[in-house]
């Protein structure tokens, strides 16, 4: 393992890494970037996909590693787009989601952090934020941010300044950091 | 390999096997059923998914094997639902597809047969049928059949009696059968 990092973040997406690095830095965890294409399996379960992905990442980088996977789950659409959120965004986009969503607009964003090392086949940390789908896209932001309003808010993720503190990704990383920090302090 | 079959069809779905068996029987190919759950990867390419799947099937059954994968691709939706047709059908169904489809209704059904044995990592055969999405669901049939009208027809797949002869699955299996038959006759 490279000396200057506590563990690696495996992804093809540098922006995703930068966000995770900043959050973990607040817990004194130094996160390195391991740029790679990871094998993803098809499954209705985000946890299964994430677990397979971090095992695949560990087989490549041979050092403690996390991966992150997330999805938007809309109640009235049986959880669609769920584990296939990226593909659905690329094809039908927010316009498609708004067209599909009717009176019941309840939804949630879930982020999974999966950690793998020589001892752990995979260890899962989940962060979820409840909310609803807006009537129209508002604000400029990435992915589904312009159409998701978190519970207790009136603005979309794309309009909110404190999105990163509220986010599902922050929650899953925080859970991971608390576990990982404790684990390291025991080992030292 | 079991003596009474020329090769196996790996799937968790017996109905899919029965359809393939009947079609291949017309080419004098005896197809056995290897019931199993196969690992599927996420990809925008049906061919890549199918290729990985038949390699996975061969690693399990250790004899010449085919798998079949298919998808509905809607032009105006950038190919959605494509490789994730099963998941999309389970969640938003035909009702969702009809809601998403507007004036441009062009679509195609594609079936991929992937063959693997000790010599071939994977060999791909593609069958496609062009058509359009109907204005509403008509006829009783499985999956997207009630909303797909093949080119040159006025009825949906679910309403047509000769669906199996027209189908994308028939085309991909026919291509495979011609190749496999030739290959076997050379080897004998």
Share above pLDDT 90 across residues of chain A, in percent, rounded to a whole number? 84
For the cut 70, the answer to whether the pLDDT of residue B1 exceeds it is no
Interchain CB contact of A39 with B (< 8 Å): yes
The 8-class DSSP code of residue A84 comes to G
Share above pLDDT 70 across residues of chain A, in percent, rounded to a whole number? 95
> pLDDT tens digits for A13-44?
898 899 899 999 999 999 999 999 998 999 99
For the cut 90, the answer to whether the pLDDT of residue B133 exceeds it is yes
Interchain CB contact of B30 with A (< 8 Å): no
For the cut 90, the answer to whether the pLDDT of residue A58 exceeds it is yes
| A99 vs B contacts (CB less than 8 Å) | 99-100
**Cβ–Cβ gap A78/B92 under 8 Å:** yes
For the cut 50, the answer to whether the pLDDT of residue B138 exceeds it is yes
* Alpha-carbon distances, residue A113 vs A49, A103, A124, A172 (angstroms): 11, 32, 6, 6
pLDDT value, residue B179: 95
For the cut 60, the answer to whether the pLDDT of residue B186 exceeds it is no
- Residue B69 annotated in active site: yes
pLDDT value, residue A123: 97
Rounded to 5 degrees, φ, ψ at A103 are -65, -45
For the cut 60, the answer to whether the pLDDT of residue A93 exceeds it is yes
pLDDT value, residue A162: 84
> pLDDT tens digits for B36-92?
999 899 998 999 999 999 999 999 999 999 999 999 999 999 999 999 999 999 999
A148-150, strands of its sheet edge to edge: A31-35, A7-11, A65-74, A106-116, A123-133, A148-150
pLDDT value, residue B15: 85
| A55 vs B contacts (CB less than 8 Å) | none
Kindly report the average pLDDT of chain B as a whole number.
92
Rounded to 5 degrees, φ, ψ at B127 are -130, 130
pLDDT value, residue A186: 52
For the cut 60, the answer to whether the pLDDT of residue A157 exceeds it is yes
> pLDDT tens digits for A110-132?
999 999 999 989 999 999 999 99
Is pLDDT larger for residue B4 or for residue B117?
Answer: B117
Q: Which of B49, B84, B92 sits opposite A100 (nearest CB)?
A: B92
| A95 vs B contacts (CB less than 8 Å) | none
* Alpha-carbon distances, residue A43 vs A53, A148, B70, B90, B164 (angstroms): 12, 24, 17, 13, 29
pLDDT value, residue B188: 45
Candidate list A6, A44, A69, A145, residue with the active-site label: A69
Q: Which of B80, B84, B91 sits opposite A77 (nearest CB)?
A: B91
pLDDT value, residue A184: 60
**Cβ–Cβ gap A41/B44 under 8 Å:** no
| A82 vs B contacts (CB less than 8 Å) | 87, 91
Which ipTM did the prediction report?
Answer: 0.84
Rounded to 5 degrees, φ, ψ at A111 are -120, 135
Is pLDDT larger for residue B187 or for residue B162?
Answer: B162
pLDDT value, residue B2: 45
Q: Position of tokens 């061919």?
A: B47
- Identify the band that residue A188 occupies on the pLDDT scale cut at 50, 70 and 90: very low
């Amino acid at each position: 393992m490279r000396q200057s990092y506590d563990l690696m973040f495996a992804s093809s997406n540098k922006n995703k890494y930068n966000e995770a690095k900043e959050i973990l830095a607040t817990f004194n965890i130094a996160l390195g970037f391991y740029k790679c294409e990871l094998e993803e399996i098809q499954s209705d379960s985000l946890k299964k996909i994430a677990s397979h992905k971090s095992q695949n990442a560990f087989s490549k980088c041979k050092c403690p590693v996390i991966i992150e996977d997330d999805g938007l789950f809309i109640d009235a659409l049986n959880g669609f787009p769920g584990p296939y959120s990226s593909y659905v965004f690329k094809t039908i986009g927010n316009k498609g989601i708004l067209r599909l969503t009717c009176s019941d607009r309840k939804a949630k964003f879930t982020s999974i952090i999966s950690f793998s090392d020589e001892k752990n086949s995979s260890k899962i940390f989940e962060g979820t934020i409840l909310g609803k789908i807006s009537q129209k896209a508002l604000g400029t932001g990435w992915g589904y941010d312009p159409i998701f309003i978190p519970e207790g808010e009136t603005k979309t993720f794309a309009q909110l300044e404190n999105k990163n503190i509220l986010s599902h990704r922050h929650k899953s990383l925080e859970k991971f950091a608390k576990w990982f920090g404790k684990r390291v302090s025991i080992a030292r």
